[in-house]
Chain A
C-alpha cells in the first residue's frame, strides 16, 4: 500500500513540476466550458433564412414591410446599411438582399411607381424562398392600395369622375374601407403543433460542463502513456525493476495516483459549474460513481496505450488526438441528438459516450444511483479490459 502511495506521489510531483500543467488542469477546461456554453448550437435557434434588408426609405410603409417580414416563418430580416449589405452580398455572406429605396410611401404605391430591389445569386433555393416571403410581405402591405385602385378602375369603367378631386375622394374612401376590411380579416389558418418526438433534453450549460469535464479529464489520463514513455526513456522504469515491486503494484500505483488527481480536477470543475452556472449536478453519489468509473476507464486506456508507444512526444500527441476524437464522437462537444442516427450508434463504442450519458442522466433526467449503474458498468468493463491489456503487454524497457 505504501508503495502504491509512494508511486502516486512521485507521479504527482513529476506532473506538476511544470507550472504550465495548471493551465491544462484547470484553466483551459474552465475557459472552454465558459466559451462553449455560450456558443454551441442547441437546435432552438432562429432557423429562418437570413434576409438582409436595406431601408433607405424609412417610412411607415417600409417599416410595415419589415414588420411583415419579421412575422414570416421562412425568413428573418436583418436590417443593415447599403454598404454593409453589398459587402456581405459580395462576400457570399448574405444570400439575398432587399433594398427599399428612398421615397417609398403611400403616394408612390398609389401612383404605381413604388419599387423595391431584390438581389440574389443565380439558382439559389434560399434566395427564391426569400423572394417569395418578400412578395407576401409587400402584398400584405399594399393590398389595401390595390383594392382602392381597383375600386377606382371599376368605377371609371362605369362612367367618368367629374373632377380629379372627385376621383381622389373616391380613392380615399375606398382606401379607408379596405383598411377597415383588412383589420377585420378572418384568420384562415389554424396552426397545430404535431406530436413528433423531438424535444430532447438539452441545457447548454449542463451539456457543455459535463462534456468539457470529460474531455479534459480523458486527455491527461490518456497521457499516462507519456508518463511510462518518459520513465522508460529516463531508465527509471528499469530501476524500479530492481526493487521488489510487481508489475501490478507499479501500474496500480501509477493509475490510482492519476485517478485521484483526475478526481480533484473533476471536483474543481464540478464546483466551477455549480458556482458559475448554478448548475445542479443531481445525485452526488451518482455523480462520483460516474466520475470514478470514467477516470478508471480513461486511465486504463492510457496504460494500455503506454505499452506500445515509444516516445513521450508520440504519447502526448496520441493522447490529445484520442481524447479530442473520443470527446467529439462520444457526444461531449455537440449534442448527440444532432448526430445522424448511424453516428449515434457508433458513438457507443467510446467510453466518453457512457460517461456523458451517465452525467446527463443525473443532470437533466434526475436519475438516481440505480439508473446510472448500467453506464457505470460499461465504464468499468472498459477499465477491466484495458487494464488487463496493460498488465499483459507491459514492459519495463
Chain B
C-alpha cells in the first residue's frame, strides 16, 4: 500500500515539474474559462440571460381610468424588480427610444382608450382604438415579458367586459331589470368590478395554489457551466498524459527496473494508475479553487464537489488507461489522447450545452465522463445536494470500473512490465 502511494506521489511530483504539461493542464483551461466569461459578458454585467429591470416607456395619452390603471400596474411593487417603467407624452420619442435600443418596448395608450372600452352615456364602443405595443426586436425576451404583462391587463379587462355585458344582457332578457335602468345597473357593476380590481381582489374562477419550495435556487452564472466544462476537457488530457508516462517509463527502462526492487508488477502498475488519479484530482481541485478565488464562482456544497471530482477523475482515469492499453508508443497516446480530449469535450457539452445538440449526440455523449460530471457540477452549482448526485456518481463509478477491467485484461496480454 505504501509503495502504491510512493509511486503515485512520485508521478504527481513529476507532473508539477513538467512546465509544458502544466500549460495544458492548468493554464489553458483557466484562460479558456476566463475567455468564455469575457465573450459571454459575465464580467461586464452585459449578459443577456439575467432578466431584471427591463426598461420600458409608457405613453399614456388616455389619462383616464384604464390608461392610469395600466400605468399603475407597471409601477406596482410586484413588478418593481422586473421592469423599470418611464413615462412620456411623446409617442414619436418613445418609438425612437426603442429604435435606438434604449428600452425593450414602448406602450402607447391612445387618447380616448377608456372611452372606447367603457362608453359613457349612449356612445357606442370604438373597437378600432388600440394600444400600440412598439417592440424592440433585439431584445425579444424582455419585450416578450413586457407584452405578457400588458396581455395580463387586457385579459382582466376582457373578463370585466364579458362579466358586465353578460350580466346586463341576461338581467334584461329575464325581465329582472328594465331597459331604462340598464345604464345605471351597468355603472354600478362596473364600479364594483373596478374597486375589486383596485383592491387586488380579482380572483380567477380557477384557483391557483402557489407553493414555494424552501431552498433557494442559486443565481445561475454562465461561468458555472464553462468552468467545469473546460476543467473536464483538460482532465482528459491529464489522464492520457499519465498513461503516456507508463509507456515512457517502459521505454526508458525505469519500469522494469522497479521490478528488481521487492515490488510486484501489480503494485507498480497500481502505483502508476494511482498517480494518474492523483494528477487528475489535483488538477481539478486547483482549477476549482482558482475559479472560486478569481471569478468568485460558487461551485456548491464543498464535500459534494470533492466527491464528484473524485468519481469524475476515476471515470476519466479509466479512459486514460484504455487509451494506454491500446496504444503502442507514448507519441500515439499523445495524439490519440488529444483527439479523445477534444471529441469528449464536444460530446460532453464543454463547448455547447448538450440540450442544444441533436438527441443522438446527447445519447452518444453519455459515454464520456464529461457529460455525467457536467450534470453533477451544474446540479451542485444550482444549489442541489448530494442526494441528487446519485445518477452521475453511479454512472462515473460504473464507467471507471468497466474501463479498469477492460484495460487490465489488455495490459495482461501485453506483458507491460516485462522487458
Q: A residues engaging B (CB < 8 A)?
A: 18, 20-21, 23-24, 27-28, 31-32, 35-36, 38-41, 47-49, 72-75, 89-93, 95, 104, 109-110, 112, 114-126, 128-129, 131-136, 138-151, 154-155, 158-159, 170, 173-174, 177-178, 181-182, 185-199, 311, 313-314, 316-318, 320-321, 324-325, 328-329, 333-334, 338-343, 346
Q: Is the CB of B342 within 8 A of A121?
A: no
Residues of chain B within 8 A (CB-CB) of A73 are: 143-145, 147-148, 151
- CB of B118 within 8 Å of the partner chain: no
Extra inter-chain contacts (13) besides given A328-B39, A340-B41, CB under 8 Å: A21-B335, A49-B51, A73-B145, A121-B215, A125-B52, A129-B82, A131-B208, A174-B167, A190-B133, A192-B132, A193-B135, A198-B101, A324-B28
- CB of B252 within 8 Å of the partner chain: no
Q: List 5 A-B contacts (CB under 8 A).
A: A40-B352, A109-B206, A144-B162, A186-B127, A340-B46
Query: Given A155-B176, A190-B132, A317-B28, does the pair A114, B166 have CB atoms closer than 8 Å?
Result: no
User: Considering the chains assembled together, what is the distance between the CA atoms of A340 and B176 in angstroms?
Assistant: 66
A-contact 0/1 string along B365-404, CB 8 Å cutoff:
0000000000000010011100010000000000000000
Question: Looking at the complex, which of B152-160, B283-291, B405-413 is the stretch in contact with chain A?
Answer: B152-160
User: Considering the chains assembled together, what is the distance between the CA atoms of A156 and B348 in angstroms?
Assistant: 66
User: Considering the chains assembled together, what is the distance between the CA atoms of A300 and B36 in angstroms?
Assistant: 26
Q: Is the CB of B36 within 8 A of A328?
A: yes
Residues of chain B within 8 A (CB-CB) of A199 are: 137
Residues of chain A within 8 A (CB-CB) of B347 are: 35
User: Considering the chains assembled together, what is the distance between the CA atoms of A141 and B206 in angstroms?
Assistant: 9
A-contact 0/1 string along B76-107, CB 8 Å cutoff:
00100110000000000001001111000010
User: Considering the chains assembled together, what is the distance between the CA atoms of A79 and B216 in angstroms?
Assistant: 24
A-contact 0/1 string along B150-189, CB 8 Å cutoff:
1110111111011101110111011011000000000001
- CB of B251 within 8 Å of the partner chain: no
- CB of B23 within 8 Å of the partner chain: yes
Question: Looking at the complex, which of B256-264, B271-279, B314-322, B355-363 is the stretch in contact with chain A?
Answer: B355-363
User: Considering the chains assembled together, what is the distance between the CA atoms of A176 and B193 in angstroms?
Assistant: 22
Q: Is the CB of A194 within 8 A of B332?
A: no
Chain A residue with the shortest CB-CB distance to B95: A194
Query: Given A136-B155, A170-B170, A339-B41, does the pair A129, B165 have CB atoms closer than 8 Å?
Result: no
Chain B residue with the shortest CB-CB distance to A121: B217
Which one of B24, B139, B331 contacts A317 once the chains associate, using CB atoms below 8 Å?
A: B24
Max chain B Cβ within 10 angstroms of own Cβ: one of A39, A129, A321, A324:
A39
- CB of B336 within 8 Å of the partner chain: yes
Q: Is the CB of A18 within 8 A of B338?
A: no
Which one of A20, A115, A338 contacts B336 once the chains associate, using CB atoms below 8 Å?
A: A20
User: Considering the chains assembled together, what is the distance between the CA atoms of A166 and B134 in angstroms?
Assistant: 49
Q: Is the CB of A118 within 8 A of B208?
A: yes
Query: Given A134-B208, A186-B127, A196-B99, does the pair A191, B28 have CB atoms closer than 8 Å?
Result: no
Query: Given A116-B206, A151-B170, does the pair A188, B149 have CB atoms closer than 8 Å?
Result: no
Q: How far is the CB of A198 from chain B (nearest CB, A)?
A: 3
Query: Given A73-B148, A340-B41, does the pair A38, B357 have CB atoms closer than 8 Å?
Result: yes
Residues of chain B within 8 A (CB-CB) of A173 are: 170, 173
Residues of chain B within 8 A (CB-CB) of A324 are: 28, 32
Q: How far is the CB of A341 from chain B (nearest CB, A)?
A: 7
A-contact 0/1 string along B212-225, CB 8 Å cutoff:
11111110000000
Q: Is the CB of B20 within 8 A of A317?
A: yes
User: Considering the chains assembled together, what is the distance between the CA atoms of A147 and B171 in angstroms?
Assistant: 13
User: Considering the chains assembled together, what is the distance between the CA atoms of A91 and B391 in angstroms?
Assistant: 12
Q: Is the CB of B156 within 8 A of A139?
A: yes
Q: How far is the CB of B324 from chain A (nearest CB, A)?
A: 15
Residues of chain A within 8 A (CB-CB) of B336 are: 20, 23
- CB of B4 within 8 Å of the partner chain: no
User: Considering the chains assembled together, what is the distance between the CA atoms of A196 and B95 in angstroms?
Assistant: 10
Q: Is the CB of B169 within 8 A of A189?
A: no
A-contact 0/1 string along B324-356, CB 8 Å cutoff:
000000011011101100110011000111001
Residues of chain B within 8 A (CB-CB) of A131 are: 208, 210
Query: Given A20-B339, A48-B144, A146-B205, does the pair A123, B133 have CB atoms closer than 8 Å?
Result: no
Residues of chain B within 8 A (CB-CB) of A177 are: 166, 169-170
Residues of chain A within 8 A (CB-CB) of B48 are: 338
Residues of chain A within 8 A (CB-CB) of B217 are: 92, 95, 121, 124
Q: How far is the CB of B148 from chain A (nearest CB, A)?
A: 4
- CB of B21 within 8 Å of the partner chain: yes
Which are the 9 A-B pairs with shortest beta-carbon distances?
A: A198-B138, A313-B20, A74-B148, A92-B382, A186-B127, A73-B144, A20-B335, A142-B205, A340-B46
Q: Is the CB of A31 within 8 A of B141?
A: no
Residues of chain B within 8 A (CB-CB) of A195 are: 99
User: Considering the chains assembled together, what is the distance between the CA atoms of A48 and B313 in angstroms?
Assistant: 37
Chain A residue with the shortest CB-CB distance to B383: A92
Residues of chain A within 8 A (CB-CB) of B158 are: 140, 143, 182, 185, 188
- CB of B199 within 8 Å of the partner chain: no
Q: How far is the CB of B227 from chain A (nearest CB, A)?
A: 14
Residues of chain A within 8 A (CB-CB) of B21 are: 313, 317
User: Considering the chains assembled together, what is the distance between the CA atoms of A72 and B143 in angstroms?
Assistant: 12
Residues of chain B within 8 A (CB-CB) of A342 are: 44
User: Considering the chains assembled together, what is the distance between the CA atoms of A31 and B60 in angstroms?
Assistant: 55
- CB of B117 within 8 Å of the partner chain: yes
Q: Is the CB of A189 within 8 A of B131?
A: yes
Q: How far is the CB of A336 from chain B (nearest CB, A)?
A: 9
Which one of B35, B81, B95, B171 contacts A158 once the chains associate, using CB atoms below 8 Å?
A: B171
Query: Given A139-B204, A147-B167, A194-B136, does the pair A311, B162 have CB atoms closer than 8 Å?
Result: no
Query: Given A155-B170, A187-B130, does the pair A149, B205 have CB atoms closer than 8 Å?
Result: yes
Chain A residue with the shortest CB-CB distance to B43: A340
Residues of chain A within 8 A (CB-CB) of B39 are: 328-329, 334, 338-340, 343
User: Considering the chains assembled together, what is the distance between the CA atoms of A151 and B84 in angstroms?
Assistant: 39
Query: Given A39-B356, A339-B41, does the pair A91, B384 have CB atoms closer than 8 Å?
Result: yes
Q: Is the CB of B206 within 8 A of A143?
A: no
User: Considering the chains assembled together, what is the distance between the CA atoms of A186 and B125 in angstroms?
Assistant: 10
Residues of chain A within 8 A (CB-CB) of B384 are: 90-92
User: Considering the chains assembled together, what is the distance between the CA atoms of A177 and B20 in angstroms?
Assistant: 80
- CB of B415 within 8 Å of the partner chain: no
Query: Given A138-B204, A158-B176, A188-B154, does the pair A328, B35 have CB atoms closer than 8 Å?
Result: yes
Q: Is the CB of A146 within 8 A of B163?
A: yes
User: Considering the chains assembled together, what is the distance between the CA atoms of A196 and B104 in angstroms?
Assistant: 10
